[in-house]
Amino acid sequence: MGVASLSRPFELRYPGPVEEAIEEIARLLDGEYGLAPRSVALLLLQGDEEVTELVAARQPEVPPRARELAAALDARLGEPVALSVATQRASWARKVASEVMQERDGARRGFGEVLGRWAMRPLTGLLLAGLVLVVLYEFVGVFAAQTVVDWTETRLFEGWITPWVNRGVAALIPWPWLQELLAFDYGLVTLGLRYAAAIILPIVGAFFLFFSVLEDSGYLPRLALLLDRVFKGIGLSGRAVIPMVLGVGCDTMATVVTRTLESRRERVIATLLLALAIPCSAQLGVILAILSGVPGALAVWAGVVAAVLLLTGFLASRLMPGERPLFYTDIPPMRLPRLGNVLTKTYARMQWYFLEVLPVFLLASVLIWAGRLTGLFQVATAALEPVVRAIGLPAEAAVVFLYGFFRRDYGAAGLFDLQKAGALASGQLVVAAVTLTLFIPCIAQFSVMWKERGPKTALAITAFIFPFAFAVGWVLSRVLAGGLF
């Protein structure tokens, strides 16, 4: 492949009706928006929310006129104006590429190009996706969640830090209420810091490193194309692969990313599925570590969660009004990930996540301590115990679900403790893992849902999820009552 220079200047022009609408809106604009009037007009026609809000704040009469013109263009062109604009840009890019790129006869395709083509074909693409999942499981679920966490949690904290802190606090602080705030079962160091640093941090770090490798290799857009048809069945498009995969890292971050989806209908469905059936990386890693010893239990958990995801998405896409989403994307070249890019992206995500998660874990410890001191924690736990017993779990599991309200991974860490104590049989572990995965979103995710989708949608999603999670747990407990494991 060679590169030549342009023989003539290229000018990007859109179909006549689109150009007329752009000119009309551009004439209406008054003042500086930081972009050329033509660019602002084009973004208004495509329904860009940020630019629409910006213009509406200064010229409230312009966005309604832009929406009228966009609706007229949709009808006249027979397709959304955003799709027409994207198609014209892609055609323009191909013309430029054909002018400046020359393919030499007999040139052999590199391995990256061949692998990129395989990743988008149904058979080889699914095999490659399966291979990626296996590597993800081995790296995050086995290496990080078992090998690394065994050292940080068992040896570092339980072997050294926790006994040292307990002895020091007992010797230096005479007041039992203050001792319990810092140490022992629910202390800031022995519970909050231990969960955040010893259990969650290694798992999240491993996932973000893996995700950065996939992202820098150019694989994710190909995965989006491969899964577009499946996602159409649940009311989404291949574009939703990014927030869904990112949700396996952190559902809160992924809920913010859903703003990149095309329509409000698509954004609401994606938010619902993220809140219901996409476990965050720490929760996923802990559950993989807990269930990996019983492959059948792990398969049941994965099958039930996947079935709930597909069924809920399918029903939501049928019940919610709106047009089916369109999907088009650029495909970057497949390449070996660059170490500097991978480390920079991983560091940025780790910094964001740790700054966000550590204060919440410490706050959760303080709230639990205050709740125990005032008796509210025991009251809330007692209120959950009948529900927990109804799905076949011991009363002690109520604390795990209360933890899960503060953070999903916090609850998963509590489940990890119960499993280590031998309080749950294999069937109970599956029921607890499924119910906890489907359980209501954590405080951070709920607050982002409130901000991004509005109070009515956030409350409606939460009101649906709480009884639904326990209903699925109840059905599963009855199915497994015969002793499948």
Per residue in 379-396, pLDDT (tens digit) is: 888 888 899 999 988 888
**Residue 167 to residue 386: CA distance in whole angstroms:** 37
What pLDDT sits at residue 401? Answer: 83
What pLDDT sits at residue 7? Answer: 59
**Residue 154 to residue 148: CA distance in whole angstroms:** 10
What average pLDDT is seen over the chain?
84
**Residue 234 to residue 257: CA distance in whole angstroms:** 18
Tell whether the model's pLDDT for residue 316 goes beyond 80.
yes
Q: Average pLDDT of 67-84?
A: 84
Shortest CA distance to 118 belongs to which of 28, 226, 227?
Answer: 226
Shortest CA distance to 222 belongs to which of 333, 346, 349?
Answer: 333
What pLDDT sits at residue 404? Answer: 76
User: How buried is residue 425: exposed, middle or buried, by Cβ count under 10 Å (0-12/13-18/19+)?
Assistant: middle
CA-CA-CA-CA dihedral for 387, 389, 395, 401, to nearest 10: -40
Tell whether the model's pLDDT for residue 106 goes beyond 70.
no
What pLDDT sits at residue 461? Answer: 93
The distance between the two most distant Cα atoms of the chain, rounded to a whole number of Å, is 85
Tell whether the model's pLDDT for residue 344 goes beyond 90.
yes
What pLDDT sits at residue 414? Answer: 79
Tell whether the model's pLDDT for residue 303 goes beyond 90.
yes
Q: Average pLDDT of 179-204?
A: 82
Tell whether the model's pLDDT for residue 192 goes beyond 90.
no
Q: Residue 478 contacts by C-beta under 8 Å, 6 or more apart in sequence?
A: none
What pLDDT sits at residue 306? Answer: 93
190 close to 170: Cβ distance less than 8 angstroms = no
pLDDT band per the 50, 70, 90 thresholds, residue 439 = confident
Per residue in 107-130, pLDDT (tens digit) is: 566 888 888 889 988 899 999 988
What pLDDT sits at residue 105? Answer: 59
Q: Average pLDDT of 61-81?
A: 86
Cα dist from 271 to 25, 252, 284, 447, 473, whole Å:
33, 10, 18, 12, 22
What pLDDT sits at residue 484? Answer: 61
Per residue in 228-258, pLDDT (tens digit) is: 888 888 888 888 888 888 787 677 778 877 8
Tell whether the model's pLDDT for residue 339 goes beyond 90.
yes
To the nearest 10 degrees (0 to 180), the angle between helices 201-217 and 122-136 is: 150
**Residue 320 to residue 230: CA distance in whole angstroms:** 18
What pLDDT sits at residue 362? Answer: 80
Tell whether the model's pLDDT for residue 217 goes beyond 90.
yes
What pLDDT sits at residue 435? Answer: 92
**Residue 249 to residue 242: CA distance in whole angstroms:** 11
438 close to 468: Cβ distance less than 8 angstroms = yes
Helices of type H across 62-192: 62-77, 81-100, 111-120, 122-136, 149, 162-172, 176-182
84 close to 90: Cβ distance less than 8 angstroms = no
Tell whether the model's pLDDT for residue 138 goes beyond 60.
yes
Per residue in 262-276, pLDDT (tens digit) is: 788 889 999 999 999
Q: Average pLDDT of 50-62?
A: 88
Three-class DSSP category at 121: coil
**Residue 460 to residue 457: CA distance in whole angstroms:** 5
Which position has the higher pLDDT, 261 or 102? Answer: 261
26 close to 41: Cβ distance less than 8 angstroms = yes
Tell whether the model's pLDDT for residue 285 goes beyond 70.
yes
Tell whether the model's pLDDT for residue 441 goes beyond 80.
no
